[in-house]
Amino acid sequence: MTWQGLAAAPASRKPIKDKSPHFPVFPDFVGASYLKRYDLLCQKLAKEQLYSSASVIATPRAAVADGAYVELSTMTGLRPFVASLAGHIAAEAAR
Protein backbone atom coordinates (compact mmCIF):
# COMPACT_ATOMS: atom_id res chain seq x y z
CA MET A 1 0.00 0.00 0.00
CA THR A 2 1.32 3.44 -0.79
CA TRP A 3 1.34 6.40 1.53
CA GLN A 4 -1.18 8.18 -0.69
CA GLY A 5 -3.54 5.23 -0.24
CA LEU A 6 -3.98 5.98 3.43
CA ALA A 7 -7.09 8.07 3.94
CA ALA A 8 -7.28 8.02 7.73
CA ALA A 9 -6.07 10.87 9.92
CA PRO A 10 -4.79 13.21 7.23
CA ALA A 11 -3.84 15.68 9.97
CA SER A 12 -1.12 13.28 11.16
CA ARG A 13 0.61 13.66 7.77
CA LYS A 14 0.39 17.44 7.45
CA PRO A 15 3.27 19.67 8.54
CA ILE A 16 2.55 21.19 11.92
CA LYS A 17 3.25 24.74 12.97
CA ASP A 18 6.32 25.12 15.11
CA LYS A 19 5.08 27.13 18.07
CA SER A 20 7.41 26.65 21.01
CA PRO A 21 7.69 29.77 23.17
CA HIS A 22 10.11 28.24 25.68
CA PHE A 23 12.40 25.93 23.74
CA PRO A 24 13.65 25.93 20.16
CA VAL A 25 12.36 23.24 17.82
CA PHE A 26 14.97 20.78 16.56
CA PRO A 27 15.88 21.70 12.97
CA ASP A 28 14.88 18.22 11.72
CA PHE A 29 11.38 18.74 13.11
CA VAL A 30 10.71 22.11 11.47
CA GLY A 31 7.86 21.69 9.00
CA ALA A 32 7.53 17.96 9.71
CA SER A 33 4.25 16.15 10.36
CA TYR A 34 3.53 14.29 13.58
CA LEU A 35 4.30 10.97 11.88
CA LYS A 36 7.57 12.28 10.44
CA ARG A 37 8.59 13.55 13.89
CA TYR A 38 7.90 10.14 15.43
CA ASP A 39 9.92 8.49 12.68
CA LEU A 40 12.85 10.89 13.11
CA LEU A 41 12.80 10.43 16.89
CA CYS A 42 12.80 6.63 16.64
CA GLN A 43 15.62 6.69 14.07
CA LYS A 44 17.68 8.93 16.37
CA LEU A 45 17.07 6.71 19.41
CA ALA A 46 18.17 3.62 17.47
CA LYS A 47 21.21 5.32 15.89
CA GLU A 48 22.39 6.53 19.30
CA GLN A 49 21.79 3.00 20.66
CA LEU A 50 19.37 4.23 23.29
CA TYR A 51 16.87 1.77 21.78
CA SER A 52 17.93 -1.46 20.13
CA SER A 53 15.18 -1.01 17.55
CA ALA A 54 11.99 0.97 16.98
CA SER A 55 9.10 0.82 14.55
CA VAL A 56 6.70 3.46 13.27
CA ILE A 57 3.80 2.35 11.11
CA ALA A 58 0.62 4.12 10.06
CA THR A 59 -2.73 2.49 9.46
CA PRO A 60 -6.05 3.74 8.17
CA ARG A 61 -9.16 3.08 10.24
CA ALA A 62 -10.25 0.52 7.65
CA ALA A 63 -7.14 -1.56 8.39
CA VAL A 64 -9.11 -3.48 10.98
CA ALA A 65 -10.57 -5.41 8.05
CA ASP A 66 -7.44 -6.03 5.98
CA GLY A 67 -4.43 -5.21 8.18
CA ALA A 68 -3.09 -2.57 5.77
CA TYR A 69 -0.25 -0.42 7.04
CA VAL A 70 2.57 1.68 5.69
CA GLU A 71 6.13 2.05 6.98
CA LEU A 72 7.63 5.52 7.12
CA SER A 73 11.24 4.44 6.59
CA THR A 74 13.27 1.28 6.13
CA MET A 75 15.02 1.82 9.45
CA THR A 76 11.79 1.99 11.44
CA GLY A 77 9.89 -0.57 9.40
CA LEU A 78 8.11 -3.51 10.94
CA ARG A 79 10.44 -6.21 9.57
CA PRO A 80 13.68 -4.86 11.17
CA PHE A 81 11.83 -4.35 14.45
CA VAL A 82 10.44 -7.89 14.52
CA ALA A 83 13.85 -9.32 13.54
CA SER A 84 15.49 -7.43 16.41
CA LEU A 85 12.81 -8.58 18.83
CA ALA A 86 13.21 -12.18 17.69
CA GLY A 87 16.96 -11.89 18.27
CA HIS A 88 16.39 -10.69 21.83
CA ILE A 89 13.94 -13.51 22.46
CA ALA A 90 16.35 -16.11 21.08
CA ALA A 91 19.17 -14.73 23.23
CA GLU A 92 17.01 -14.91 26.36
CA ALA A 93 15.80 -18.40 25.50
CA ALA A 94 19.40 -19.59 25.14
CA ARG A 95 20.32 -18.41 28.64
The full set of domain ranges for the chain reads 29-95
pLDDT of residue 80: 94
35-72 pLDDT per residue, tens: 899 999 999 999 999 999 999 988 877 788 888 888 98
Tell me the average pLDDT of the chain.
Answer: 85
End-to-end alpha-carbon separation of the chain, Å? 40
The amino acid at residue 87 is G
Q: For residue 58, what are the β-bridge partners? A: 70
